[in-house]
Amino acid sequence: MANKAFAWLDERLGLTTIYNVVLDRKVPKVNWWFTLGSASAILFLLQGVTGMFLAVYYVPSPQSAYDSIQFIMNGVAFGWLIRGIHHWGASLMVIVVFLHMLRTFYYGAYKYPREFTWLTGVVLLLCTLGMGFTGYLLPWNQRAYWATTVGTELPGTVPLIGPFITNVLRGGAELSAVTLTRFFAVHIWFLPAVIGALIGVHIYMVVKLGISSVPDRED
């Protein structure tokens, strides 16, 4: 029965082909540093899942943001766990993504034919930092408020267009409800969409080109 169901699905989805192409392929022998890419992906998934659950109760408004997070932490079963994973996951993800970049750099894996994979990787690194920056404001506590006040002030130092950039980031002259909702939107829609799409491209490239090998003295 199970076999029949599998055959039926396989005929339509091409599961065997996927297995042969993606899983059953030969790759060079590599070391443990090569696990950081998949770890980044898993962390992104985990952040996505815990983020979805946080969105069940979180309200992006100055009146309610703080209280809704207090409710998540103290009023809902396991809210502390979901938020704890999301909070620490952010830091861990920055570390893992950064180390992944360093490993790629160290082994020269950005070179032919993987230049484009590297480019998508750089964007992914920047997006990860962007997630950290936008997510930091959402709890609307003292840390968040003041860090973002300063953080959005930085581009303001650019000659001529600086103040305008700051106003665009904040959606006004100062930090307000408008800032909070746009950071929220960027944090849960724009950046995850970009990251999700680019991870797709990134992994496609890795599967197509094969993971880079550890270079030896001749390379």
Partner 1 sequence: MTKSPHLSRNNFVKGVVGILGTLMGVIVGLPAIGYLLSPALKIQTSESWIPLGPLDNYPVGEPTPFSFTRTKINGWEKATNSYGVYVLRKTETDTTVFSNICTHLSCRVSWHDDIVQYVCPCHDGHWNKDGAIVSGPQPRPLDTFENKVEDGNLFIHFVEG
Partner 2 sequence: MDDEQKQRYLEKYKQAKQQGVKFFPDIIYKDLLVSFALFIILVMLATFVGVANEPKADPSDSSYIPRPEWYFLFLFEMLKFFPGQIEWVGTIVVPTVAILALFLLPFLDRKPARYPGKRWRAIGVMGVVVLAMIALTIRAVITTPPQVEAETVATTLSESILIGQDLYSINCVECHGPDGEGGIIEGVEGLEGYDMKSISAQDEMYTRTDDTLFNVINYGQPDLGMQPFGIAYGGELSIGEIETIVDFMRYTWDDRAELPQEVTQASAMPTLGEDQVPSYDVHIEPLVKRYCISCHRPGKKNNNYLMQSYEEVMNTGDHAPNVIPGDLASNLIRMLHREEIDAGGPMPPTKALKPEIIAIFERWVLGGAPQTPEEAAAAGTVVTGTLTAPQTTAIPTP
Neighbouring C-beta atoms of residue 72, cutoff 10 Å: 20
Q: Does 181 bind partner 2 (CB under 8 A)?
A: no
Region from 5-13, 103-111, 183-191, 195-203 binding partner 2, contact rule CB under 8 A: 103-111
Query: Are the C-beta atoms of residues 131 and 86 closer than 8 Å to each other?
Result: no
Least separation in angstroms between CB 147 and partner 1: 23
Burial class (CB in 10 A: 0-12, 13-18, 19+), 3: exposed
Phi, psi (degrees; rounded to nearest 5) at 42:
-65, -40
**Footprint of partner 1 on residues 23-52 (CB under 8 A)?**
46, 49-50
Give the footprint of partner 1 on residues 101-140 (CB under 8 A). Answer: none
- Binds partner 2 (CB under 8 A): choice among 48, 171, 172, 210: 210
Q: Which of 44, 58, 109, 184 binds partner 2 (CB under 8 A)?
A: 109
Q: For partner 1, which residue of 75, 113, 196, 200 counts as binding (CB under 8 A)? A: 75
Rounded CA gap, 99 and 71, in Å?
Answer: 35
What type of residue is 120?
Answer: T
The one segment of 7-15, 51-59, 137-145, 195-203 that binds partner 2 by CB under 8 A = 137-145
Our finding on whether 59 is near partner 1 (CB under 8 A) is yes
Report the Cα 37 to chain-centroid distance in Å: 12
Nearer to partner 1, 73 or 99 (CB): 73
Instruction: Please give the single-letter amino acid code of residue 104.
Output: T
**170 phi, psi to nearest 5 deg:** -85, -15
Decide whether 81 or 158 has the Cβ nearer to partner 1. Answer: 81
